[in-house]
Structure 1
Amino acid sequence: MADPTLTGVNSLGIAKAPEDTRVVVAMSGGVDSSVVAAMLKDQGYDVVGITLQLYDHGIAVQKKGACCAGQDIHDARRVSEAIGIPHYVLDYETRFRDSVMEEFADSYIRGETPIPCVRCNQEVKFKDLLATARDLDADVLATGHYVQQKLFGDHAEMLRAVDKNRDQSYFLFATTQEQLDYLRFPLGGLEKDDVRILAEKYGLQVANKPDSQDICFVPNGNYASVIERLRPGASEAGEIVHLNGDVLGYHKGIIHYTIGQRKGLGIGGRDPLYVIRLDPEKNQVIVGPKEALGVTTLHLKEVNWLGQTEISSEGQEIEVKVRSTRPSVRATLYGSGAEGGARITLHHPEQGISPGQAAVFYDGDRVLGGGWIENKS
Structure 2
Amino acid sequence: MKMKKVVVAMSGGVDSSTAAYLLIKQGMAVEGVFFVLFDNPSNLELAAQTARFLGIKLHIKDLREYFKEKVIDPFFEGYSQGITPNPCIICNRYIKFHVLAKLADLTKAQFIATGHYARISKENDNVFLLKGVDNKKDQSYFLYGIDKSLLNHIIFPLGQYTKDEVKKIAETLDLPSKVAEESLEICFLREKKYYEMMKAASGPIIEKSTGKTVGQHGGIHLFTIGQRKRIGVSVGYPAYVVQIEPSINAVYIASRKDAYMREFYVDDSNWLCEPAENKFKCEVKIRYAMKPERASITLINNHRLKITFDNPQFAPTPGQSAVFYEGEKVLGGGVITELVQDS
TM-score by length of 1: 0.86
Identify the residue that residue 132 of structure 1 maps to in structure 2.
103
SS at match of 1:333: strand
2:277 maps to which of 289, 312, 315: 312
Identify the residue that residue 365 of structure 1 maps to in structure 2.
328
Q: How does 1:257-276 map to 2 (within 5 A)?
A: 257-268=223-234, 270-276=236-242
Q: Counterparts of 2:29 and 2:100 in 1: how far apart (Å)? A: 18
Q: Counterparts of 1:202 and 1:44 in 2: how far apart (Å)? A: 17
Do residues 332 (structure 1) and 306 (structure 2) align?
Answer: no
SS at match of 2:306: strand
Do residues 321 (structure 1) and 285 (structure 2) align?
Answer: yes
In the TM superposition, what is the alpha-carbon distance from 1:200 to its structure 2 partner? Answer: 2.4
SS at match of 2:177: coil
Would you say the 8 A contact 2:184–2:190 is kept in 1?
Answer: no
Partner amino acid, structure 2, of 1:335 = L
Q: Counterparts of 1:365 and 1:280 in 2: how far apart (Å)? A: 38
Partner amino acid, structure 2, of 1:138 = A
Deviations 1:302-356 (A, max 9, x none): 111122x43522x2110000111111101111111x3311111100001111111
Identify the residue that residue 374 of structure 1 maps to in structure 2.
337
Q: Counterparts of 1:158 and 1:27 in 2: how far apart (Å)? A: 21
Do residues 48 (structure 1) and 31 (structure 2) align?
Answer: yes
Would you say the 8 A contact 1:113–1:258 is kept in 2?
Answer: yes
Q: How many residues align?
A: 339
Would you say the 8 A contact 2:81–2:220 is kept in 1?
Answer: no
Do residues 79 (structure 1) and 79 (structure 2) align?
Answer: no
For structure 1, the residue ranges without an aligned partner over 5 or more in a row are: 1-16, 58-68, 229-233
SS at match of 1:220: coil
Would you say the 8 A contact 1:29–1:75 is kept in 2?
Answer: yes
Identify the residue that residue 16 of structure 2 maps to in structure 1.
33
Do residues 186 (structure 1) and 154 (structure 2) align?
Answer: no
RMSD: 1.5
In the TM superposition, what is the alpha-carbon distance from 1:56 to its structure 2 partner? Answer: 2.2
* Bigger mean CA deviation after superposition, 203-212 or 174-183: 203-212
Do residues 351 (structure 1) and 314 (structure 2) align?
Answer: yes
Q: Counterparts of 2:168 and 2:255 in 1: how far apart (Å)? A: 48
Identify the residue that residue 6 of structure 1 maps to in structure 2.
none
* Bigger mean CA deviation after superposition, 26-35 or 174-183: 174-183
In the TM superposition, what is the alpha-carbon distance from 1:159 to its structure 2 partner? Answer: 0.8
Partner amino acid, structure 2, of 1:28 = S
Q: Counterparts of 2:186 and 2:276 in 1: how far apart (Å)? A: 32
Do residues 281 (structure 1) and 247 (structure 2) align?
Answer: yes
In the TM superposition, what is the alpha-carbon distance from 1:179 to its structure 2 partner? Answer: 1.6
* Bigger mean CA deviation after superposition, 235-244 or 160-169: 235-244
In the TM superposition, what is the alpha-carbon distance from 1:81 to its structure 2 partner? Answer: 0.5
For structure 2, the residue ranges without an aligned partner over 5 or more in a row are: none
Deviations 1:31-62 (A, max 9, x none): 111011112223332111100000123xxxxx
In the TM superposition, what is the alpha-carbon distance from 1:293 to its structure 2 partner? Answer: 1.1
Identity of aligned residues (%): 35
Q: Counterparts of 1:52 and 1:219 in 2: how far apart (Å)? A: 16
Q: Counterparts of 1:370 and 1:276 in 2: how far apart (Å)? A: 23
SS at match of 2:187: coil
SS at match of 2:178: coil
SS at match of 1:369: strand
SS at match of 2:253: strand
Q: Counterparts of 2:202 and 2:109 in 1: how far apart (Å)? A: 52
Q: Counterparts of 1:42 and 1:105 in 2: how far apart (Å)? A: 42
Identify the residue that residue 196 of structure 1 maps to in structure 2.
167
Q: Counterparts of 1:352 and 1:269 in 2: how far apart (Å)? A: 20
Q: How does 1:31-180 map to 2 (within 5 A)?
A: 31-57=14-40, 69-70=41-42, 72-153=43-124, 155-180=126-151
Would you say the 8 A contact 2:133–2:159 is kept in 1?
Answer: yes
In the TM superposition, what is the alpha-carbon distance from 1:20 to its structure 2 partner? Answer: 2.1
In the TM superposition, what is the alpha-carbon distance from 1:196 to its structure 2 partner? Answer: 1.3
